[in-house]
Amino acid sequence: MHALPPIDAVAFDLDGTLLDSAPDIGRALNSALAQEGLRRVDLATVLGWIGDGPDVLIARALAAQGMPADDGRPQVAALRGRLRRAFDVATLSAPLVDGKVFPGVHALLAALHGALPMVVVTNKPTPLARAVLGAADLLPWVAQVHGADTAALRKPAPAMLLAAAQQLGIEPQRLLMVGDGPADMLCAEAAGCPAALVAWGYGAHAVPAHLSPRHVATPHQLLGALRAALLDGLPAGALINAQRGRGRIVTS
């Protein structure tokens, strides 16, 4: 992984970055489809559709069943609305059943806590994101949750990253975006944020080559890079108290 510039905070994507949530996303989608008498979707297909939020996910599921996104019939629009409501109900009632936190993520967030503010920037709407983070015991580690509650906020638009930087009181170029797919990397580019592309998620293969993001193989590698970036930005004598496993900055 290439060295990071000085960083004051980290923004994490959710699905495919912090959580292997595809099984639960697929379960919620199939629950909604079943209520309308529509065909189920297998997990491999769902994996290819994740990253742009539930409305786009539902649109892709309907397109696969002969109802494309540009179908303007009122009954199709009404169907999309019912599917979205059913998807939300299924997610909120069981946020994390078959999904799991990626290995090493709990340790990463625990080590960074107290050293760097952390936020989540996701195309999942905020209520769903907070429910999933809470079920995964990750919510206590993050200072903010920015979800795409409207289409205009959805990554790759930079609005959520810019809002996170503003609320943290830092410049966008000091906020690292960590994600697993094209929307994350394009969002970071649009916001002027540095970016790190994780190898363990769903969409790294689809990231445009011209973006040249920093590639991260494991959460442990990311932690090492962030510690190095912190040390580079500290006065002489400062260090990370890694032995305590909290990433706390202390000065001697």
Q: Which helix (H) or strand (E) holds 96?
A: none
Residue 16 placed within a domain: yes
Taken in order 163, 168, 172, 176, the sign of the CA dihedral is negative
**Do 16 and 33 sit in the same domain of this protein?**
no
The predicted structure's pLDDT at residue 217:
97
Domain final residue pick, 93, 120, 142:
93
Per-residue model confidence (pLDDT) at position 70: 78
Q: Which two tokens stand for residue 244?
A: 């305590």
pLDDT for the residue 233: 54
Range of the domain at 41: 22-93
Asked if 83 and 165 sit in the same domain, the reply is no
| Residue 13 among the catalytic residues | yes
Give 59's contacts (C-beta < 8 A, 6+ positions apart): 69, 80
Q: What is the pTM of this model?
A: 0.90
pLDDT of residue 209: 85
Same domain for 122 and 70: no
Single-letter amino acid, residue 135: A
Note whether residue 3 is domain-resident: no
Which of 68, 93, 118 marks a domain boundary? 93
Q: At what angle do helices 219-232 and 105-112 cross, to 10 degrees?
A: 20
Helix, strand, coil content of the chain in percent (nearest 5): 50, 15, 35
Can you list the residues of the chain whose pLDDT is less than 50?
A: 234-252
Question: Which one of 8, 13, 15, 180 is the catalytic residue?
Answer: 13
